[in-house]
Amino acid sequence: MLEIKNLTASIGDKQILADVNLSVAAGECLLVTGHNGSGKSTLLHTIMGRPDITAQGSIELNGVELTELECHDRARQGVFMFHQTPPTIDGVNTMTLLNEVNKIHDMKYTRGKLIVEANDLFLHLGLPDKWSKRQFNHGASGGERKKNELAVAEMFGGNLLLLDEPDSGLEQQSRQRIVELINRSCRAGKIVLLVTHDQNLQSWYSKNKIELANGRIL
């Protein structure tokens, strides 16, 4: 269960979210809608614990108060952020990073299984040869970064998936994998918060949604 109570969030002197209250049960996908600048991405980043966001209120995941935790500790509680613009990490090999993530997840994969699983995903997603040996997202296009993020989400998505426009820049086949990721996560009892401008995705998940305007839920 994800419960958010009286959440207010600011970046610097600018307040972006005000008195947000919502509850999402295990196995549910919540569609977060609203015009550009309404606070959708900020809501997801606040839940993830982005350091430059000052938050007041309560964010509780399965009985754990997240506002008391740093970003990396929220990740250990199962919070996974699928970024609208996935970052580049220069000097860090992709497979090395995946191995460190695997350690955080209590060695979900053996070393050999991790290499096989990752390379299979990279191949099926159409990423370039030897992708796992490249620096993380270094020199990658926007679509390649999204596919890389999708691969990590499929391998290590936690109890709460925060999907910030995961479909943008992807072709139809990869967009279908986003749908499969959401549905598979919900069947496993996980929670998904989805921000998307894709009309098909919005219609598929429109039964459970909120709309933000000026940082408040309408």
Q: Which three-class secondary structure state does DSSP give residue 133?
A: helix
Q: Which fold has domain 2-217?
A: Rossmann fold (3.40.50)
- Residues 118-128: pLDDT tens digits? 999 999 999 99
**Can you tell me the mean pLDDT for 164-169?**
88
The domain locations on the chain are 2-217
pTM: 0.92
Helix axes 172-187, 142-156, angle to 10 degrees: 20
Q: What number is the average pLDDT over the span 151-157? A: 90
Residues 6+ positions from 162 with CB-CB distance below 8 Å: 44, 47, 48, 79, 80, 81, 82, 193
Amino acid code (one letter) for 200:
N
3-class DSSP assignment, residue 91: strand
Tokens of 182: 């959401």
Average pLDDT of the chain to the nearest whole number:
93
